[in-house]
Structure 1
Amino acid sequence: MDMRTPGATSMADIVESGVAAEELKAFVERIERLEEEKAAIADDIKEVFSEMKGRGFDTKVTKKILRIRKQDHEERQEEEAILDLYMQALGMT
Protein backbone atom coordinates (compact mmCIF):
# COMPACT_ATOMS: atom_id res chain seq x y z
CA MET A 1 0.00 0.00 0.00
CA ASP A 2 1.50 3.34 -1.08
CA MET A 3 1.16 5.97 1.68
CA ARG A 4 2.57 8.87 -0.36
CA THR A 5 0.53 11.97 -1.02
CA PRO A 6 -1.26 11.69 -4.37
CA GLY A 7 0.74 13.49 -7.03
CA ALA A 8 3.85 13.64 -4.85
CA THR A 9 7.19 12.80 -6.39
CA SER A 10 9.31 10.24 -4.56
CA MET A 11 13.04 10.68 -4.13
CA ALA A 12 13.64 7.71 -6.44
CA ASP A 13 11.46 9.33 -9.11
CA ILE A 14 13.49 12.54 -8.86
CA VAL A 15 16.79 10.74 -9.16
CA GLU A 16 15.61 8.58 -12.05
CA SER A 17 13.82 11.32 -13.98
CA GLY A 18 15.68 14.25 -15.45
CA VAL A 19 12.32 16.01 -15.88
CA ALA A 20 11.49 15.84 -12.16
CA ALA A 21 15.02 16.95 -11.26
CA GLU A 22 14.69 19.96 -13.58
CA GLU A 23 11.33 20.81 -12.04
CA LEU A 24 12.84 20.62 -8.56
CA LYS A 25 15.74 22.81 -9.66
CA ALA A 26 13.30 25.37 -11.08
CA PHE A 27 11.36 25.50 -7.78
CA VAL A 28 14.56 25.94 -5.75
CA GLU A 29 15.86 28.70 -8.04
CA ARG A 30 12.49 30.47 -7.90
CA ILE A 31 12.53 30.41 -4.10
CA GLU A 32 16.12 31.70 -4.08
CA ARG A 33 15.15 34.64 -6.32
CA LEU A 34 12.19 35.47 -4.09
CA GLU A 35 14.40 35.33 -0.99
CA GLU A 36 16.79 37.79 -2.66
CA GLU A 37 13.89 40.12 -3.48
CA LYS A 38 12.60 39.84 0.09
CA ALA A 39 16.03 40.78 1.46
CA ALA A 40 16.23 43.76 -0.91
CA ILE A 41 12.79 44.96 0.18
CA ALA A 42 13.74 44.57 3.86
CA ASP A 43 16.83 46.70 3.20
CA ASP A 44 14.66 49.34 1.49
CA ILE A 45 12.31 49.44 4.48
CA LYS A 46 15.26 49.86 6.87
CA GLU A 47 16.49 52.72 4.72
CA VAL A 48 13.10 54.47 4.90
CA PHE A 49 13.03 54.10 8.69
CA SER A 50 16.56 55.49 8.87
CA GLU A 51 15.52 58.44 6.72
CA MET A 52 12.49 59.05 8.94
CA LYS A 53 14.64 58.96 12.06
CA GLY A 54 17.04 61.43 10.48
CA ARG A 55 14.12 63.78 9.86
CA GLY A 56 13.11 63.59 13.55
CA PHE A 57 10.23 61.11 13.37
CA ASP A 58 9.84 58.44 16.06
CA THR A 59 10.26 55.13 14.23
CA LYS A 60 9.01 53.06 17.16
CA VAL A 61 5.69 54.91 17.08
CA THR A 62 5.59 54.65 13.28
CA LYS A 63 5.98 50.85 13.51
CA LYS A 64 3.12 50.76 15.99
CA ILE A 65 0.97 52.82 13.61
CA LEU A 66 1.77 50.43 10.76
CA ARG A 67 0.72 47.49 12.92
CA ILE A 68 -2.53 49.24 13.91
CA ARG A 69 -3.34 50.12 10.29
CA LYS A 70 -3.23 46.41 9.41
CA GLN A 71 -5.96 45.64 11.95
CA ASP A 72 -9.63 45.95 11.13
CA HIS A 73 -11.68 48.45 13.12
CA GLU A 74 -13.34 45.90 15.42
CA GLU A 75 -10.07 44.16 16.22
CA ARG A 76 -8.46 47.50 17.06
CA GLN A 77 -11.39 48.55 19.30
CA GLU A 78 -11.27 45.25 21.17
CA GLU A 79 -7.51 45.53 21.74
CA GLU A 80 -7.86 49.13 22.96
CA ALA A 81 -10.67 48.14 25.38
CA ILE A 82 -8.57 45.31 26.84
CA LEU A 83 -5.56 47.63 27.12
CA ASP A 84 -7.66 50.21 28.98
CA LEU A 85 -9.03 47.52 31.30
CA TYR A 86 -5.55 46.22 32.12
CA MET A 87 -4.20 49.71 32.67
CA GLN A 88 -7.06 50.46 35.09
CA ALA A 89 -6.40 47.21 36.93
CA LEU A 90 -2.76 48.22 37.33
CA GLY A 91 -3.63 51.76 38.44
CA MET A 92 -2.02 53.31 35.38
CA THR A 93 -4.89 55.64 34.42
Structure 2
Amino acid sequence: MSEPIMSADDQLRLFIERIERLEEEKKGVADDIRDTYAEAKSQGYDPKIMRQIVRLRKMEPHDRQEMELILDTYKAALGLG
Protein backbone atom coordinates (compact mmCIF):
# COMPACT_ATOMS: atom_id res chain seq x y z
CA MET A 1 0.00 0.00 0.00
CA SER A 2 1.22 3.46 -0.78
CA GLU A 3 0.74 6.47 1.44
CA PRO A 4 -1.57 9.23 0.26
CA ILE A 5 0.22 12.15 -1.34
CA MET A 6 -0.10 15.35 0.66
CA SER A 7 -0.86 18.52 -1.27
CA ALA A 8 1.46 21.50 -1.02
CA ASP A 9 -1.33 23.43 0.70
CA ASP A 10 -1.74 20.74 3.37
CA GLN A 11 2.00 20.53 3.88
CA LEU A 12 2.27 24.30 4.28
CA ARG A 13 -0.64 24.34 6.75
CA LEU A 14 1.06 21.63 8.84
CA PHE A 15 4.33 23.58 8.90
CA ILE A 16 2.52 26.76 9.96
CA GLU A 17 0.61 24.96 12.71
CA ARG A 18 3.81 23.36 13.98
CA ILE A 19 5.56 26.74 14.06
CA GLU A 20 2.61 28.24 15.94
CA ARG A 21 2.77 25.47 18.57
CA LEU A 22 6.52 25.96 18.96
CA GLU A 23 6.07 29.74 19.31
CA GLU A 24 3.56 29.13 22.13
CA GLU A 25 6.01 26.76 23.85
CA LYS A 26 8.79 29.33 23.43
CA LYS A 27 6.61 32.01 25.04
CA GLY A 28 5.88 29.68 27.95
CA VAL A 29 9.57 28.97 28.49
CA ALA A 30 10.41 32.69 28.27
CA ASP A 31 7.74 33.40 30.89
CA ASP A 32 9.22 30.70 33.15
CA ILE A 33 12.70 32.18 32.78
CA ARG A 34 11.40 35.67 33.59
CA ASP A 35 9.61 34.33 36.66
CA THR A 36 12.79 32.56 37.81
CA TYR A 37 14.81 35.77 37.55
CA ALA A 38 12.08 37.60 39.48
CA GLU A 39 12.12 34.93 42.20
CA ALA A 40 15.91 35.15 42.44
CA LYS A 41 15.65 38.95 42.70
CA SER A 42 13.16 38.61 45.55
CA GLN A 43 15.76 36.48 47.34
CA GLY A 44 18.37 39.24 46.99
CA TYR A 45 20.20 38.14 43.83
CA ASP A 46 20.99 40.54 40.99
CA PRO A 47 19.28 39.31 37.80
CA LYS A 48 21.55 41.42 35.57
CA ILE A 49 24.63 39.67 36.96
CA MET A 50 22.90 36.30 36.78
CA ARG A 51 22.21 36.88 33.06
CA GLN A 52 25.90 37.63 32.54
CA ILE A 53 26.86 34.41 34.34
CA VAL A 54 24.44 32.42 32.16
CA ARG A 55 26.04 33.96 29.05
CA LEU A 56 29.54 33.18 30.33
CA ARG A 57 28.63 29.57 31.12
CA LYS A 58 27.43 29.09 27.54
CA MET A 59 30.82 30.12 26.18
CA GLU A 60 33.71 27.79 25.50
CA PRO A 61 36.45 28.22 28.15
CA HIS A 62 38.98 29.46 25.57
CA ASP A 63 36.53 32.05 24.19
CA ARG A 64 35.67 33.21 27.71
CA GLN A 65 39.35 33.61 28.63
CA GLU A 66 40.02 35.54 25.44
CA MET A 67 37.07 37.85 26.09
CA GLU A 68 38.20 38.44 29.70
CA LEU A 69 41.75 39.27 28.56
CA ILE A 70 40.46 41.77 26.02
CA LEU A 71 38.10 43.26 28.60
CA ASP A 72 40.97 43.63 31.08
CA THR A 73 43.07 45.31 28.37
CA TYR A 74 40.29 47.77 27.55
CA LYS A 75 39.66 48.49 31.22
CA ALA A 76 43.35 49.16 31.85
CA ALA A 77 43.52 51.46 28.81
CA LEU A 78 40.59 53.46 30.21
CA GLY A 79 41.92 53.52 33.79
CA LEU A 80 39.16 51.28 35.10
CA GLY A 81 41.44 48.45 36.23
TM over 0.5, shorter chain: yes
Aligned to 1:39: 27
Structure 1's unaligned 5+ residue stretches are 1-17
Aligned mate of 2:45, from 57, 63, 66: 57
TM-score of the aligned structures, taking structure 2 as reference length: 0.90
Structure 2's unaligned 5+ residue stretches are 1-5
Aligned to 1:92: 80
Deviating 4+ runs (over 2 angstroms): none
Q: Could you say what the CA RMSD is over the residues aligned between the two structures, in angstroms?
A: 1.0
Task: State which structure, 1 or 2, has the greater radius of gyration over its C-alpha atoms.
Answer: 1
The total of aligned residue pairs comes to 76
Sequence identity (%): 49
Query: How is 1:1-93 mapped onto 2 (pairs within 5 angstroms)?
Result: 19-93=7-81
Distance 2:8 2:46 in 1: 51
Distance 1:25 1:82 in 2: 49
